[in-house]
Amino acid sequence: MQDFSDILHNTILWVSLAACVIAQMLKLVVELVRHGKVTFRTLVETGGMPSAHSAFVAALATGVGQSVGWDSPEFAIAAIFAIIVMYDAAGVRQAAGKQARILNQIVDELFRKDPEFNEDRLKELLGHTRFQVIIGCSLGVAISCVATQLGY
């Protein structure tokens, strides 16, 4: 049986986590370019450019493919997992965000005259556009490939 401390030597895990963190940090840069200010809240929020979820799972799948082979069952599992996560980010969560936006508009319209109504607004930025997912996926693949070239 392996020691739990062996997780510290799992290169694929660390490269995948690095891809996720780098994607989250890039959101600060995108925020600065788009709005002229840095909002550190973007580091912990979902949604935005690029998709950190996509970068994470794409780096994971790429690392597994590079390590154990592109024809391995492990790569197949990682690739299917990545596809599901990215589909969810651009599909289901994006749709939930649109629904939240519409519900917030309905609440604003219905209760505009009622100052007693104090309902929390729904979070509208839940998912990603397809473009944000593609950029996140590309970032994850690139980071995994660079890490492999550097010997990690």
Q: Are residues 61 and 106 in the same domain?
A: no
Does residue 10 belong to any structural domain of this protein? yes
- Going from the C-alpha of 57 to that of each of 7, 41, 51, the distances in angstroms are 18, 23, 10
Q: Are residues 54 and 108 in the same domain?
A: no
**The pLDDT of residue 21:** 95
Mean pLDDT of 93-97: 66
**The pLDDT of residue 128:** 78
Stated length of the chain:
152
Does residue 109 belong to any structural domain of this protein? yes
Quick check: bond before 73 cis, omega within 30? no
Mean pLDDT of 107-128: 62
**Counted domains in the chain:** 2
Q: Are residues 38 and 50 in the same domain?
A: yes
- Residue 108 pLDDT grade (very low, low, confident, very high; cuts 50, 70, 90): confident
Does residue 85 belong to any structural domain of this protein? no
- Going from the C-alpha of 107 to that of each of 31, 95, 103, 111, the distances in angstroms are 28, 18, 6, 6
Name the helix (H) or strand (E) containing 97. Answer: helix 92-110
Q: Are residues 37 and 17 in the same domain?
A: yes
Residue with tokens 């104090």: 118
Q: Are residues 62 and 39 in the same domain?
A: yes
Domain that residue 118 falls in: 92-126
- Going from the C-alpha of 92 to that of each of 72, 89, 97, the distances in angstroms are 29, 7, 9
**Is residue 120 pLDDT above 80, yes or no?**
no
Percentage of the chain beyond pLDDT 90 is 52
Q: Are residues 40 and 67 in the same domain?
A: yes
Percentage of the chain beyond pLDDT 70 is 82
Q: Which of 3-17, 37-51, 67-81, 131-145 has the lowest mean pLDDT?
A: 37-51
pTM: 0.77
Q: Are residues 32 and 13 in the same domain?
A: yes
Q: Are residues 68 and 104 in the same domain?
A: no
Q: Are residues 74 and 41 in the same domain?
A: yes
The string of pLDDT tens digits covering residues 10-49 is 999 999 999 999 999 999 999 889 888 888 877 777 778 8
Q: Are residues 122 and 139 in the same domain?
A: no
Burial 83-112 (b: 16+ CB within 10 A, else e): eebbeebbeebbeebeebbeeeeeeeeeee
Does residue 136 belong to any structural domain of this protein? yes
Mean pLDDT of 49-60: 95
**Is residue 99 pLDDT above 90, yes or no?**
no
Q: Are residues 19 and 74 in the same domain?
A: yes
